[in-house]
Each structure stands twice: as C-alpha cells, then as structure tokens.
Amino acid sequence: MKIRKLRLDETKPMELLLLADPSPSIIKSYLDRGECYVAELENRIIGAYVLLPTRPHTVELVNIAVAEEHQGKGIGKKLISDAIQNAKKHGYKIIEVGTGNSSISQLALYQKCGFQMVGIDKDFFIKHYQEKIYENGIQCRDMIRLSQDLEGRV
C-alpha cells in the first residue's frame, strides 16, 4: 500500500469520504481549503484523509476513510500515522481531530494513535447536518475534540 497526496488533476474520492462524513457540501467545503491524501493498493484508492489548516501552527484531520472491504486491516492507523508525519513535516505544532460521540471505534483508534480528548462541541451534528446520524445504536449529537502536541510536550 502506498499513501500519497492527491494531485490537483485527479477526481476527489467523494464516495470514500462520504463513508466518514455524510454531507457532500461540507466535504466539498473542506476539500477546497485542505489537502487530500490517498492510500492506494494495486492502483485502486482504498483510503483517504484530508488535512485542513485551522489556526497558526495547527492542522485538523477533518476526514479519514477506508473502503468498507478494507476496514479492520490497520489501514486507518497507517493513514493517521501518515497524517501526523505530514503535519510535522509541514511545521505544524498541533494536530486535531473531531469525531462523533457515537463513533466508539474511532475514539479508541485516535487515542491509540496518541490523541487526547480536549473538548466537546455540544449538538454539533444536530446544528450542522440535516439528517439524523446513528452509529452503534446511538444518535450522533456531539463532536468529541481530540488533539496531539506534535512537539511532544505534555
């Protein structure tokens, strides 16, 4: 598997990104402002993530997705690791990520990759998404914010 930056002349992997974010308009908004990276296996895109600069020295991992038939194989962890390395390479000091309160496996994965919970955006998914979202039998209402200090300070 190879991870690389998506070229400007390439089609954005919307079907894949929609696995992690159900809103095409929100995805298009951050794709226009961020950088998209893709994981390829045998010349087929099987994973993607988007890094979006948010504040000075801070970047957010706003979408990370793995094709359903390739989930559970460690690809998500490799994508997160690549995102962290890219953030460091570009001089960012902090990388952030947000996920839904109902995204139990994602919350565990981000913490395994060194992120710590730093806050909650109450009712984020109620305010910003027209359709109700359910995962693991739980309504996704709140955005759980996680962060990692890339300079290794506590």
Q: How many CB atoms lie within 10 A of CB 145?
A: 18
Residue 139 sits in a domain of what CATH number?
3.40.630.30
Model confidence pLDDT, tens digit, residues 41-90? 999 999 999 999 999 999 999 999 999 999 999 999 999 999 999 999 99
Count of domains observed in the chain:
1
146, 96 Cβ separation under 8 angstroms? yes
Assigned domain for 44 exists: yes
Q: Do the domain assignments include residue 144? A: yes
Within a domain: 45: yes
pTM: 0.90
9-49: pLDDT as tens digits? 999 999 999 998 888 999 999 999 999 999 999 999 999 99
pLDDT given at position 139? 94
Select from 37, 52, 53 the least CA-distant residue to 2.
37
- The pLDDT value recorded for residue 81 is 97
CA distance 52 to 54: 6
- Asked, for residue 103, whether it belongs to a domain, the answer is yes
Closest to 59 measured CA to CA, from 98, 85, 30, 87: 87
Q: Identify whether 85 is part of a domain.
A: yes
- Residue 154 resides in a domain: no
Residue 67: domain span: 2-149
